[in-house]
Structure 1
Amino acid sequence: MRLRTVLATAAAGLAATTCLTAAGPANARTDQQDSHACSPSVSLDRFSDALDKTTYEGTFVGNFSALAVDGDGSLAALSDRSSLFSLDAKTLAPESVVPLADESGAALDSEGLVIDRDGTRLVSSETEPSVRRYSRDGRILGRLPVPDALQVAPAGRAVSNGTFEGLTLFPGGRTLLASMEYALQGDSAGIVRFQTWQRTKGGDFELGRQYAYRTDTGLGVPEVRATPDGRLLVLERGFTSGVGNTVRLYLADPRHATDTSGVGNLTGQDGVRLTKKTLLADIVNCPSLGATAKQPQPNPLLDNIEGMAITGRTSDRLKVLLVSDDNQNAVQTTRFYHLRVRI
C-alpha cells in the first residue's frame, strides 16, 4: 500500500553498497547480550540499501510490497506497480522482471505474493480486492472467490486502499490466508479480518474460515507469513507525519480463534475469540547499524516496511527477510532487513 507521507546494477556494485555485519553462532551468546538484538526474540544481522533508486531493463526497482522464495532458491519481489522481479538471493541483483495486469490489461495494486508448489504465482490486489493466479511469464490462470463483505465499498464494507495486503500459504499447501490491512466499515477500529481458502481435490481454492485479529492502536497489517508450525508472523505498521514509521513484528496463532465468516459486525465485545498474538519485536529497538533516514524517523533504520519472507532456519531460529516500500519517493528508501527470529 502506498502510505501517504508529507508526503542494471552489477553484483559487485550491489555488494559494495550493502551494509554487512557479522552474526555469531546461536549458541555463543543470547540475544540480550548480542549487540544486534532488537529484543530477546529477534536480532538484526544486517541491512541492505543496494537496490534503492535503481532500474533494471528500464523498470524501476522498488515499490516492493511482498517477498517470496522461489523453487530455484531465488527471491521473488513484488512491486505494487504491477512488476514481479526475480532477485539473486545472496546479492539481491535483479535477474528478471515480469509485468502483471488484470483481465483487461490494466495495472494492479499488487500487494501479496505466494509461490505455489507448481511454481504458479498467487498475487493479491487491494483494488477490489482480489487474488489471482499467474503463470511464471505473467499470464492469468484463474481468480479466487472473495466474500462480498470484503469488497471495497459500495460493493462491500472494505475501505479503499485497506484490503488484501498480506498473503501466505500454510505448511502442507492446503490453506491460503489473506490479511486485510484495516477494519471493515461496521467493525471496531483495529479489528481486521484474515480470510482463508482451502485447496480442493482438483487443486483450486474455495472459501474457508475467517479470523479476527486486533492491531495496536493506529496500525494496520501489511504482511503475514505462515511459520513451519502453523502459526503466523504478522507485521503491523503505521506512519505519523513528522515522526516516522512504527513497525512491529508479532507471532499470532489463529488455531483457536472464532470463525468470523458469518459474523456481521465485530465489536470486540461480542464473544468472538480473537487471534492470539505475542510481540516479538518493535523494530524501533533494533540497532541502526549505521543506517540513515531521508525523513524523520524514531530510528534511522526504519522505513515503510511492507514485505516479509521466511528464507530459512537454524536449529532454534527462523531467517526472516523484510523489505520496505519506498513508494518511488525521494525521501523513502528501498531497504532489506535480515533478521533472525526465535518463535
Structure 2
Amino acid sequence: MRVRVPLAVLTAAAALAGCVTAQTAAARSAPGHKPPQGHACSPSVALNGYSDALDKTRFHGLPVAGISALAPDGDGHVAALSDRSALFTLQVSGHRSAPHARTVGGVSLADGAGAPLDAEGLVVERGGTRLVTSETEPSIGRYEADGTFTGERLPVPGELRVEPAGRARSNQTFEGLTASHGGRTVTASMEGPLDGDGTDRAGRPLVRFQNWRLGRDAVPAAQWAYPLDPRLGVAEIAATGEGRLLVLERGYDAATRANTIRLYLADPRHASDVSGVERLSTGPGGVRPLRKTLLADLGDCPDLGAPSPSPQPNPLLDNIEALAVTGRAPGRLRLLLASDDNESPHQLTRLYRLTARLPRS
C-alpha cells in the first residue's frame, strides 16, 4: 500500500547522495528525540548504516522508485520490487556497514491481460522465478526473471479477496510475502483486517497470514491470526530460517509528521489455524494468534545525521516498506530494508542495513 504524506506538512531539506556509514557518521538528534547510545536501536537491533544512492535514479528509463519488497537473488544481488509494476536487480555490498547499492537490471511487469500491477510482495524461488503479489484482487503470480508472466497463480481463499468478492478492504491485502522450509512453504500477510474480524484481548486488530504448500501444485495451508498495533499496518514479513517470522509494521501520523516503523518477531507455534473461522476474536473459545515480540521501534535508532525532506522526529525514517534477510549467523540476522518514496520529491528511496539478535526460540 502506498502511504502518501500530505504536502502541506512537508518542508524541503538539502539532499545527500551516496552512503553514510555507521563508523563515520555523527549521531544527531532532532528536538525531543533521544536515541540509544552508540548505534543500537534496541537491545536486539543495531543500525549499521544507510544509503540514499538509489534515490531519484532511473535504469534504462524506469524510475527506481516505489520500492515495496526486497529478496536475495544470489551472488550479492538483491531483487527489488516496485509498486509501479517494475522489478529491479540491485548489486548490494557492505554487509556490516552502510549498504552500497547500484541498479544493474530492470524490467516492467504486467498481469495476464497486460495491465500493470500494484505489486507489493516478492519471493525469489530456487529456480530463479519470482512470486509477485498484486494488492488489487489480490493475487500471487509467477514470473520469469525477465518479467514474463508464466500464467501460473496461487489459489487465493475467497474471504481474502477484495469486497464484494470477499471481505478484504481495498489496498489492505497482500502486502508481504516470504518463503520458508527450503521454498516449500510461502506465506502472505494481509496489510489490514478483513471486514468483520475482531481484536485480541488487548484491543489489537487481528489480521490474517495465509500459507501455501508448494509442490506440483500450490495448495492453501494454515491461516494464522496476527495482532496488529493500532493505527499501523503490516508492511512486510520475512522468514527467519528457524520457523519464526519477522514482521514489519508501519504507519504515518500527519499530526506529529512522523512515520512509525516497528520490527516484531512472530512465533507460529501454538497459533490456531483460522482458515475455517469466519470472524476472528480471542478470549474464551476464541483463536490463538501468533505470539509477537517487539525487537525494535526504528524511531529509536540513532539518526546518523541523515537528511530528511519531511519534518520527521527522527530524520532517518521514511516510508519503510521492504525487508529482507540477507545473511544469517547463530542467533543473528543481517537485514536490508528499503523505503518507498512514492515518486515524491518530499520522500526518499533509502536503504538501511540492520543486524538483529533473536531471542531463543
Give the TM-score taking structure 2 as reference length. 0.87
State yes or no: 1:266 paired with 2:269.
no
Runs of 4+ in 1 over 4 A off after TM superposition: none
Letter in 1 for 2:84: R
Is this contact kept in 1: 2:36–2:42, CA < 8 A? no
Is this contact kept in 2: 1:242–1:296, CA < 8 A? no
Match of 1:299 in 2: 314
Q: For 2:53, which of 45, 50, 54 is the aligned residue? A: 50
State yes or no: 1:179 paired with 2:194.
no
Is this contact kept in 2: 1:84–1:100, CA < 8 A? yes
Matches for 1:1-343 after TM superposition, within 5 Å? 1-7=1-7, 17-22=18-23, 35-90=38-93, 91-141=100-150, 142-188=152-198, 190-200=205-215, 202=216, 204-243=217-256, 244-269=258-283, 270-343=285-358
- Describe the SS at the equivalent of 1:92: strand
Is this contact kept in 2: 1:235–1:247, CA < 8 A? yes
How far off is 1:33 after superposition?
8.6
Alpha-carbon separation, structure 1, partners of 2:120 and 2:273: 24
Is this contact kept in 1: 2:18–2:52, CA < 8 A? yes
Distance 1:128 1:33, change over 3 A: closer
Which stretch of the first structure deviates more once superposed, 113-122 or 287-296?
Answer: 287-296
Alpha-carbon separation, structure 2, partners of 1:33 and 1:63: 30
Larger relative CO (CA 8 A, sep 6+): 1 or 2?
A: 2
Alignment RMSD: 1.7
How far off is 1:260 after superposition?
0.4
Alpha-carbon separation, structure 2, partners of 1:228 and 1:81: 30
- Describe the SS at the equivalent of 2:299: helix
Count matched residues.
326
Is this contact kept in 1: 2:22–2:47, CA < 8 A? no
Alpha-carbon separation, structure 2, partners of 1:98 and 1:36: 36
Match of 2:13 in 1: none
- 5+ residue gaps in structure 1? 8-14, 24-31
Deviations 1:121-150 (A, max 9, x none): 000111000000001111112111001100
Q: Identity of aligned pairs, percent?
A: 56
Which stretch of the first structure deviates more once superposed, 102-111 or 242-251?
Answer: 242-251
Alpha-carbon separation, structure 2, partners of 1:241 and 1:145: 37
Match of 1:11 in 2: none
Letter in 2 for 1:86: T
Letter in 1 for 2:254: S
How far off is 1:73 after superposition?
2.9
Is this contact kept in 1: 2:17–2:52, CA < 8 A? no
Deviations 1:262-282 (A, max 9, x none): 000113345200000000000
Give the TM-score taking structure 1 as reference length. 0.92
- 5+ residue gaps in structure 2? 8-15, 25-34, 94-99, 200-204
Is this contact kept in 2: 1:71–1:119, CA < 8 A? no
Alpha-carbon separation, structure 2, partners of 1:179 and 1:318: 21
